[in-house]
Structure 1
Amino acid sequence: MAPKTAKRLIKDTLADLTKENFEKFIDELLDREGEPRVKRNQLEDKSFIVVANVLVSTFTELRAPAVVVELLRAIGCTGEATKLENEIGGRSSYPGPSDTVRPSVGPGGGCTGDEEMAPKTAKRLIKDTLANLTDVNFKEFIDELLDREGEPRVKRNQVENKSFIVVADVLVSTFTEPGALDVVVELLGAIGCKKEATKLENEIGGRSSNPGPSDTVRPSAGAEGGCTGEHFVVKHRAELIDRVSNIPSILDQLFEKKVITQETYDEILAITTTRDKMRKLYSGPLNAAGYEGKEVFYKILEEKESYLVADLKKKK
């Protein structure tokens, strides 16, 4: 069999990537430093065949394979990079923008890479962090970002219904790389993702120096275990139903803060027993209110049932 052309090798390599890793490859290519540069509209939402053609037309057949190897290693696909290197043999000699390849493992461990990792860029750290959030937590992150006080502000049309890759780009372009890292840590804390915030802080180490509006991360008091943990009011549902006594006052505040409607307020208040009132509150309004509603309920419990909350906290 005759040797494959460089374009065919690139197409075969890109065709074997998972959808997630192909998206990372495109993202890394768009972020690549040095000339020539590839434009976003040449790659976004394009097939691996089109991307391979763009790579060859931009970097030439001789140079494009080396660029692909560089980018594969940058997204943690070291196995694929090594395979391509072996296939191209001595035909590719043009190095990437840096003398060393920047391996990095994104969410899910990248492709097959197990090499020692060089430090990730701030943008890559942010993208990996956002990629690991659940859909619910990612939406809460976007909401918190849009509600964030202080300048500069992010516009709704920049981030609403956008992917984590686009949101990371917006964060870096708005706050700069060092500033964006601090903003992400701040927002993760604000939505209760304490573990994710701490992990990112540990990864950035001393590289981030621009504080957000507050000097400390604002973890959600009701969230237990960060994004992946149960909320306090969910974890202790059974005991709260059994032991909460000050229902009328709690309902007053839930109504005042628009967690429940007037109709729901009247309906629950008309129920005879305290336990049934609490069951009704849990079965409808609290489920519908989501994370934010649970936070409001938790804070009301801290005020109205402080001894009960303190006792339940000891049972973690």
Structure 2
Amino acid sequence: MDCINATLEELDNDEFKKFQRFVRDAAFLDGQEPIGKALLQNKDRMDTADVILQTYPDNVDQIMVNVLGKVGRKDLQKQYQNKVQSKDAAASVPEVDFVNKHKRSLIQRVSNVEPILDLLTEEGIMNNEDYSNVRAEKNNQGKIRELFILLDNRGNRAKRVFYKGLEENESCLIEDLNEQS
């Protein structure tokens, strides 16, 4: 919450109004339910942060990064991403550790890519453009390599969802990699 508040405080009044408009834009949110105009009307930065956190508890960081980019504040977007990544790095998560440890093997051996991409899209990790970019790669290794670039930028939650996709679609591969460890 403090990270969201601090970031919103960095926006000037015009940027803050744009920020609120984009958070209400269903097309921009790519599958997420937009926040109703009434919920943000006459809200200050702290109240807006509360509304965003309550509306998008699982995707708040991704929403913040997307909207900051859309507002044109690439500096704040990068700063926010760095804060999220350092926060993610502080908490060791077994699924994330597995994905990081076996990155090279996963790039070489994941064969059932599309259902994993579908899950990442359903969970709000990827948008349609990300999905298309990954699918455009010629082979599975290229797709997973491109996907790892995205996962590294999206943090631990993205890697946990990726791991869930592996469990559902590549359980034998997970067993094999765990046995090799």
TM-score by length of 1: 0.28
Higher relative contact order (CA 8 A, sep 6+): 2
TM-score by length of 2: 0.48
When Rg is computed on C-alpha atoms for both structures, the one with the higher figure is 1
